[in-house]
Amino acid sequence: MSIKLLLLVFSALIISSRPKLIADHHLSSRISPFPSQSSPIPPLKAQSPAIQSSFPRVPALFVFGDSSVDCGTNNFLGTLARADRLPYGRDFDTHQPTGRFSNGRIPVDFLANRLGLPFVPSYLGQSGTVKDMFQGVNYASAGAGIILSSGSELGQRVSFAMQVEQFVDTFQQMILSIGEEASDGLVSNSVFYISIGVNDYIHFYIRNISSVQSLYSPWLFNQFLASNMRQELKTLYNVKVRRMVVMGLPPIGCAPYYLWKYRSKNGECAEDVNSMIMESNFVMRYTVEQLNRELPGASVIYCDVFQSAMDILKNHQLYGFNETTEACCGLGRYKGWLPCIAPEMACSDAAGHLWWDQFHPTDAVNAILADNVWNGRHVDMCYPTNLEAMLHA
């Protein structure tokens, strides 16, 4: 490694750790969505018209989750999990970092286009009034999990339960602004996209935080996560949410970080890790099926990201990818040793790569996943139906 790159690595680590961390590393759900200081990221002025609906199909898109869908929440937090500097965002519409953990768009950006909506803004990045949230808000926070303490070593993050509380606050603000009937109609006809749970493995169970592995077998841990997810989805239902998209977990055992960590010889995935993820997805899908039976008027779909991702891995050449194991940005074997923290660490063209960094896919993969959520264009991965069909039901 060159001296120049070493200096970049250490300086980037220092910069990322500057924000002061609060004592317990997590945030109150009452944190203001209208910060007094301006965002370090300029607001989005425009978006690509590609595959964009000519009119809004739904009133709004609300997003909950982790770094897979964070669009800038962590820009405002004291955390190591940040994507507010290049090369993140270099292939985005603005060619600037926004807080998205990708070289370009994340799945909900493509889905917003399909729905005829603008890109959904971060809750903490809001600088206007509650009316600016009427077309949707993104509450997702990198490092967050279903379990409150998941990702605590990274610093501040907004857990799933806290994100749900933030939405409840948003809903109450809507009622004060436009009345209960109009608010109920807006929320019940909108789409709620939930992508969370992977950090409960990466930053909690696999690391054996609090000796969790001696307390819970993988199967019992999966059931514990599903029980907590069930509780939060019912909380959303109780505030008039009816259309929900629950994303399953990806095959993180194939991510560059785990290929490096488990010393994969020829790019073989870490099967022990993937086995836990598949079990988790099985339990979560069953939970969604139960909710559809129990909640009158609810339409909850479960999307099997694992299935779609493995299809891309298996048929990568048909999808146009030539690099399936090495990340575009990082250091070490498979570029899985160190995270993406400097432009010099990135490849020149991410289009042929499945992986952007240690854990996150490129926007080319995100586009495929979004297509599959929307109408199963490549793989029918959503059950009992896809998003487009759900909206027409």
Active site amino acids: 67, 357, 360
**Other Cβ atoms closer than 10 A to 388:** 17
d(CA 269, CA 362): 18
**CB within 8 A of 62, min separation 6: which ones?**
120, 136, 137, 138, 139, 167, 190, 191, 192, 193
Q: In the structure encoding, which two tokens stand for residue 363, read together?
A: 């926007």
Beta strands in the chain (DSSP E): 61-65, 191-195, 243-247, 299-303, 382-383
**Residue whose token pair is 């950090």:** 199
Helix axes 363-375, 107-114, angle to 10 degrees: 40
The overall longest dimension of the chain from CA atoms, in Å, is 63
Q: Are 305 and 313 in contact (CB under 8 A)?
A: no
Asked if 366 and 102 touch (Cβ cutoff 8 Å), the reply is yes
- Residue 21's region, left for phi above 0, alpha for psi from -120 to 50, else beta, is beta
Q: How many CB atoms lie within 10 A of CB 262?
A: 16
Measure the CA–CA gap between 12 and 39, rounded to whole angstroms.
20
